[in-house]
Structure 1
Amino acid sequence: MEPVSSTFSVDLRRLGVLRELARRGSLARTAEALHLTPSAVSQQLAALAREVGVPLLERQGRGVRLTGQARILLEHADLMAAQWERARVDLAAWEEGRRGAVTIGAFSSAITGLLPHALRALSAHHPEIRVQVVEAGAPDVFTLLDSGDIDIAVAVDFAAAPPRTDPRYTRTALLADVLDLALPATHPCAGRDRIPLADLAGDVWIVGDAGSCCGAVTRSVCAANGFTPDIRHAVDDWTALAALVETGVGIALVPRLVQPLHRPGLVLRRPAGPSPLRHVFAAVRAGSGDDPVQAAVLDRLRAAAAVAGGAGGGAGGTAEAAGAGAESDR
């Protein structure tokens, strides 16, 4: 390996591959996220190592891990990415926000319960801004954000999302989305306003993928109430979940962003004690916070979130109006 030179140059695309490897943790997952082969990822990282003159990877069992030098380089890569984003913002500001285009990546229930309000207001007040929506959940939505394929990520704060201190992103809190119990109307507890979760320990539960936010919340909330839920149905589509609950084959926790559901035989009730929550936020690339077009979109997202958060969903009654969507983040 050549020694570090004071005049070395770095390919920013290769830095992006290194950043993705730091996120994904393996060459195979990085290759899948970037639509490359593992061999191509290895070649990109080897070329980057030659460019900077330091080793970036070391063997760990059958896989690889980042060297100390790689982590130092990543710190600078985050700063470089933010500075390039500021340069892009400065160029975009030439138009003073009069027109532009923004692509939003969001999980499906945010598209269902949050984006329509924001996009209607944006169309009325900023008709010159063109918005494109892409459905994606964490961590994929952040890969799209890093690559520039989207400009704003709307995500849920859980294990698959970056930590709040991640320097690559500037976050905007949107709302705390409350989860209510979905029960068949014939359930013995359906007539109660608030139901201790421990009273439902013997029920069959319908829960999405273990890696999803609502799946994780359901498991942790049940554990905190002293039991492991009997999960017999794995469903990641809210309409399908509502149909199963109405049929009487199980119960579930349902976020208010997708409430109420089109099912006359389904009721929504609040769990006793502190309400289970999932925190929804928007993220942009660090350095892009002054983009006038993105700022206008974020303003409308915040306003829509205030309405959605204040509406309080449909807990406490029969689920009847509005629709439900499906999403990987649940």
Structure 2
Amino acid sequence: MDPLSPAFTIDLRRLTVLRELQRRGSVARTAEALHLTPSAVSQQLTALARDLGVPLTERDGRGVRLTGQARVLLAHADAIAAQLERARADLAAYGDGGRGTVTVGCFSSGILGLLPAALRALRERLPRVRVDVVEAEPPDLFTALDAGQVDVAVAVDFAAAPPHTDRRYTREDLLTDVLDVALPPGHRLADRGAVPLRELAMDTWIVGAASSCCGAVTRSVCAAAGFTPEIRHDVNDWAALAGLVEAGQGVALVPRLVRSLYAHRTLALRPAEGPPPSRNVFAAVRAGAENDPVVTAVREELRRAADGVRGNEVTPGGWRSGAVAAESGGDG
């Protein structure tokens, strides 16, 4: 390739493709995430390499891998993206920051248990700001955040989420969401004060998809307890999962963020014995965007909502109703 020109320029759209390739690991997955064809992704990468005069990818079997020069460029790409976000934030702060649209991406149980309080507060605080909500999980959530389709990402730490050290994002932990055991009416462990997970190894389970945050966490929790669950039903909808447990179709782990869906169900919610299984909920924005006045307001209200969730935290011993409560004498 031609040597680097002192006047070389970088097309930021092509740089975005390279950053996504680093995250996804293959041209095909990058194309799917960016809604492009694999050929278009390859063309963008080739054009960027030609503009810079350095190779950015090399063959690796049937796929490609990043060169050393690409990794050097990506380290600068994070700084470039962060500086652009700071410029955007400074321009927003030039006005009063009290108008516009902000989009929050969040996982399903967070939309149910965390966002309502934050959205109500934002409506009072910034009445001229429109807040849109998109249900999404990593890695797609962070692809949307990188692309500017989402301004604030609320997510759970699991394998598909970016690491804490990822410099592309400014993140903060919001709360620890505990998962409790949901048992059908009349289950042999329904009267336990706390349920040993290992004793559920022979039960059938209702679990979300492995790619979902709660599905991934449930599988890892069971593995830590020493067994692989027999998954009879693959369900991501929390109300549907509650109905299946109530119908005696299996046991499940459910987050306390969705406990309002279970208050009037005839089933038992019991804490797990020992250290409670849990998941860390965090909020992230593009590095440099944290000074945007509207984004700042959203982050503040998310923190307050998380504080409210923690303040209302209760042990699920009293969440039993109907047949289960009658069989146990209503103790809680």
The normalised TM-score by structure 2 is: 0.93
Q: Which residue of 1 is the match for residue 273 of structure 2?
A: 272
Please give the alpha-carbon distance, in whole angstroms, between the structure 2 residues aligned to 1:122 and 1:319: 34
Change in 2 beyond 3 A, CA 1:319/1:71? farther
In structure 2, what is the Cα distance between the partners aligned to 1:271 and 1:18? 44
Are residues 1:223 and 2:223 paired?
Answer: yes
Please say if 1:110 is aligned against 2:110.
Answer: yes
Native 8 Å contact 2:185 2:266 kept in 1: yes
What RMSD in Å do the two structures reach over aligned CA positions?
Answer: 1.4
Distance 1:178 1:110 in 2: 13
Match for residue 69 of structure 2?
Answer: 69
Match of 1:185 in 2: 185
SS at match of 1:284: strand
Q: Distance in 2 between matches of 1:20 and 1:313?
A: 41
Distance (Å, rounded) in 1 between the aligned partners of 2:181 and 2:231: 15
Q: CA deviation at 1:237?
A: 1.1
1:75-90 matched pairs, under 5 angstroms = 75-90=75-90
Matched, 1:300 2:301: yes
| Cα separation, 2, equivalents of 1:5 and 1:131 | 44
How many angstroms does 1:264 deviate by?
Answer: 2.4
Tell me, what secondary structure is at the counterpart of 1:259?
helix
CA shift for structure 1 position 129: 2.1
Q: Deviations over 1:150-187 (max 9, x none)?
A: 11011111110100110000002111100000011211
Cα distance in 2 for partners of 1:50, 1:29 equals 23
Which residue of structure 1 lines up, in the alignment, with residue 286 of structure 2? 285
Question: In structure 1, what is the Cα distance between the partners aligned to 2:93 and 2:31?
Answer: 35
Identity %: 66
Task: Verify the 8 A CA contact 2:271 2:315 in the aligned structure 1.
Answer: no
Per the alignment, residue 207 of structure 2 pairs with 207
Q: Match of 2:242, as an amino acid?
A: A
Counterparts of 2:116 and 2:260, CA distance in 1: 16
The amino acid of 1:175's aligned partner reads L
State the shift of 1:289 in Å. 1.2
Shift of 1:188: 1.2
Is contact 1:82-1:287 (8 Å) kept?
A: yes
Tell me the CA shift for residue 7 of structure 1: 1.0
| Residue in 2 that maps onto 1:325 | none
Change (3 A) 1:316 1:124: same
Moved more, 18-27 or 303-312: 303-312
Partner of 1:8: 8
How far apart are the structure 2 equivalents of 1:248 and 1:146? 43
**1:328 equivalent in structure 2:** none
CA distance in structure 2 between the partners assigned to 1:289 and 1:172 by the alignment: 11
* Offset at residue 239 of structure 1 (A): 1.1
1:93 correspondence with 2:93 = yes
Match of 1:309 in 2: 310
AA at the equivalent of 1:273: G
SS at match of 1:122: helix
Once the 2 structures are TM-superposed, how far is the Cα of residue 213 of structure 1 from its aligned partner?
2.1
Task: Give how far 1:210 is off.
Answer: 1.7
Residue aligning to 1:59? 59
* TM-score when normalising by structure 1: 0.94
Secondary structure in 1 matching 2:179: strand
2:48 and 2:137 mapped to 1: Cα distance? 29
Check whether the contact 1:261–1:319 (CA below 8 A) recurs between aligned residues.
Answer: no
Amino acid at match of 1:272: E
8 Å contact 1:260–1:319 — kept in the other structure?
no
Question: What does residue 241 of structure 2 align with?
Answer: 241
Measured in 2, the distance between the counterparts of 1:191 and 1:74 equals 55
In the alignment, the residues of structure 2 paired with residue 145 and residue 90 of structure 1 have an alpha-carbon distance, to the nearest angstrom, of: 19
Aligned AA for 1:288? Answer: A
User: Which position in structure 2 is the counterpart of 1:47?
Assistant: 47
**Matching residue of 2:143:** 143
Q: 1:20-46 CA deviation, whole Å, 9 max, x = no partner?
A: 110111111111111110000000000
Instruction: Tell me the amino acid that sits aligned with residue 3 of structure 1.
Output: P
Structure 2 unaligned segments of length 5 or more: list them.
322-332
**For the residues of structure 2 that align with 1:223 and 1:139, how far apart are their CA atoms?**
23
* Ranges of 4+ aligned residues in structure 1 off by more than 3 Å: 317-320
The whole-number CA distance in structure 1 between the counterparts of 2:215 and 2:173 is 22
Q: Cα distance, 1:212 vs. partner?
A: 2.2
Contact persistence 2:158–2:217 (CA under 8 A): no
Counterpart code for 1:206: I
1:167-222 Cα offsets, whole Å, 9 max, x none, are 00000211110000001121111112211112222211111112222222222222
Shift in Å at residue 125 of structure 1?
Answer: 2.2
